[in-house]
Chain A
Amino acid sequence: MTSGKRQSRTMQFTLFAMIIPSLALILLFSYYPAIRSLVGSLTFWNGFDPPQFIGLQNFIAYFQMPGFGAQIRNLALLLLGGIVTLMVFPFLGAELTQSVPWMRVRRYVQWLFAVPMVVPQVILVAVWGYLLNPYDGVVDQMLSLFRVPPIQWLGNSHTALISILLIGFPWVTSLAYLVFLSGLQAIPQDIYEAARVDGSTGLERIWHLDVPLIIPQLRFVIIITGITMVQNFVPILLLTSGGPGNATAVPGLEMYQAAFSNSQFGFGMAIGTLLFLFMLVISILTLKFLKPQT
């Protein structure tokens, strides 16, 4: 008995030890940098000399910089746009896929919508940058058939942000598509039968039945959409670098340029911290107010 108990204790110790290497990896390469960022946001640091503690001055400097208002406005617009491009269209795509009457065709449709997910973002950006260019861009050439004069998509401050959102049109292909689809596929068929007997139409069914039943997936997609829009400034970096003027400037890009162009490491970490706090609030609100129905 005692030996059995001791054996079990060694076993538990072995199992705990198996966690350690992986845990060390995330503590060292995820948590340590995260904490360092939170602390470093309170310092003045150029990356070489020892950091100096300056309290909240980085944050104050950021709030007072000339481009701050434009950056927040653009981020807000991107988040609004993200609701359409990263949530509504993938959801509609998933609903349409589920409405395809033949199982076999449905699987092909899912496959076709899923594959372009893995196309590297730089390629998508290159292709859309090309399609939207004002010299021989295909979008303008198409529009000229309808006598629309050429639009300087990325070069005009009114259309630049829209052009960034346009990348990936018609926006069905995304993580959210597969997530919503799996949620819809898990809804038991007899619930649909009951709804049909009640005589509810397609749209009513989607709103009153599908949406409440995929709340777990919806929570995930909302958080992912927020994170994507907050952190993904690569298309902006490659296509407009925040311009023209401040038309596509966003906090993430400001952070990147502060650190890697201007050696303002403390300032950059302050912006990183703000973005983290913003996403933390969004995540907590989502998880608190959007509860799965039991």
Chain B
Amino acid sequence: MKRRAWIVLLSVGVLILLTYIPLLFVLFDSFKTSQAFVQNPFGLPWPLALQNYLIAWHGIARYLWNTVIVAALSLILGIPLAAASAYGFAKGRFWGKNVLFYLYIGLLMIPWTLTLIPLFVEVNTFGMYNSWLSLIVPYAAGSQPLNVFLFRTFFEGIPDELYQSARIDGCSEFQILWRIVAPLSLPVFLTGSLLLSVSIWGDYLWPTIVLPNHNLYTASAGFELFVQSFGITGARGLGPEFAAEVLTMVPIIVLISAGMRYFVSGITSGALKA
């Protein structure tokens, strides 16, 4: 028994180490000059090449701020709509409710390769092309299925007495959602917001398709643009490149570390829908 425990711990340790080596490698080498790096990738980062971070920050700070704004606006649009809809599904008894709900669930199984091209055309038609609206609205729409599903499950868990007593007090359905249900549902709203933020932070392809104005790029697309500005081979800007990797990773890692509980609960409850 004891021996088995040690074997488990050792294997877990090795796997964690292997998982983190590439990330630690980036962190470690982001403090080296490109030249020191080429001479010996395994050498110590001394003297600290802090100028890497200056160059990288100068290159990508704009994209990080853009992402914060785009994510915030997508959440402001997407979360309240999902909450209202989930409330309707949780408390409504109208005809056709289940069919409408399947419309949401069905979307979770459609690969976005199907919608990519027409969505691009549509964004053009609506005059959203080359503006943040072309990100915000599709992101908010894309977040509806999972969030409506998550919120509905949560709302159904709230005791019916709360709703009833609020109705007797003369609250409208909107007031119930806003004053009674929403404050109780902050954890699941946080879950939905984290999942959406992570996917916006990591989305590379869509911004590159709809934003010819590169100044509007978000984190992933902006990072790639910064890296490619150094050219493809040679010593290139390895130091600043690694520093840019760290700067692009850290905000989202910090965010998720703080909200890990909510992030995990969102993923695991989403799994049971299948």
Is B a genuine binding partner of A?
yes
Determine, out of A56-64, A172-180, A205-213, A241-249, the stretch whose residues face the partner at the interface.
A172-180
Task: Assess whether B22 is in contact with A131, with CB atoms less than 8 Å apart.
Answer: yes
- List B contacts of A238 (CB < 8 A): 224
Beta-carbon contacts under 8 Å, B125-145 to A: 137-138, 140-142, 144-145
Q: Give the complex CA separation of A138 and B81 in angstroms.
A: 48
Q: Give the complex CA separation of A186 and B113 in angstroms.
A: 34
Beta-carbon contacts under 8 Å, A5-39 to B: 11-19, 21-23, 25-34, 36-38
Residue of A nearest to B233 (CB): A135
Q: Give the complex CA separation of A122 and B110 in angstroms.
A: 23
What total of A-B pairs shows CB separation below 8 Å?
265
B55 interfacial by beta-carbon distance below 8 Å: no
- List A contacts of B253 (CB < 8 A): 115, 118-119
Task: Assess whether A33 is in contact with B271, with CB atoms less than 8 Å apart.
Answer: no
Task: Assess whether A170 is in contact with B173, with CB atoms less than 8 Å apart.
Answer: no
List 10 tightest A-B contacts by C-beta distance, closest first. A22-B85, A182-B268, A29-B141, A15-B92, A220-B274, A33-B118, A18-B88, A36-B118, A19-B88, A33-B115
A42 interfacial by beta-carbon distance below 8 Å: no
- List B contacts of A32 (CB < 8 A): 118, 122
Task: Assess whether A272 is in contact with B114, with CB atoms less than 8 Å apart.
Answer: yes
A272 in contact with B113 given A14-B172, A260-B209 (CB within 8 Å): yes
What are 7 pairs between A and B in contact, CB < 8 Å? A22-B82, A26-B144, A99-B8, A126-B224, A127-B25, A127-B245, A130-B238
- List A contacts of B260 (CB < 8 A): 111, 114-115
A276 interfacial by beta-carbon distance below 8 Å: yes
A18 to chain B, nearest CB (A): 4
B interface residues with partner A (beta carbon < 8 Å): 4-5, 8-9, 11-12, 15-16, 18-20, 22-23, 25-26, 38, 41, 81-82, 84-85, 87-89, 91-94, 100, 103-104, 107, 109-122, 137-138, 140-142, 144-145, 148, 172-174, 177, 198, 201-202, 204-205, 209, 219-221, 223-224, 227, 233, 238, 241, 245, 248-249, 252-253, 255-257, 260, 263-264, 267-268, 271-274
Q: Give the complex CA separation of A80 and B6 in angstroms.
A: 33
Residue of B nearest to A266 (CB): B117
Task: Assess whether A265 is in contact with B82, with CB atoms less than 8 Å apart.
Answer: no
Task: Assess whether B138 is in contact with A29, with CB atoms less than 8 Å apart.
Answer: yes
- List B contacts of A17 (CB < 8 A): 88
Chain B, interface SS category: helix
Q: Mark A99-128, 1 if CB is under 8 A from B, else 0.
A: 111000100011111111111111110111
Chain A, interface SS category: helix
A146 interfacial by beta-carbon distance below 8 Å: no
Q: Give the complex CA separation of A230 and B23 in angstroms.
A: 27
A126 to chain B, nearest CB (A): 6
A273 interfacial by beta-carbon distance below 8 Å: yes
Task: Assess whether A26 is in contact with B141, with CB atoms less than 8 Å apart.
Answer: yes
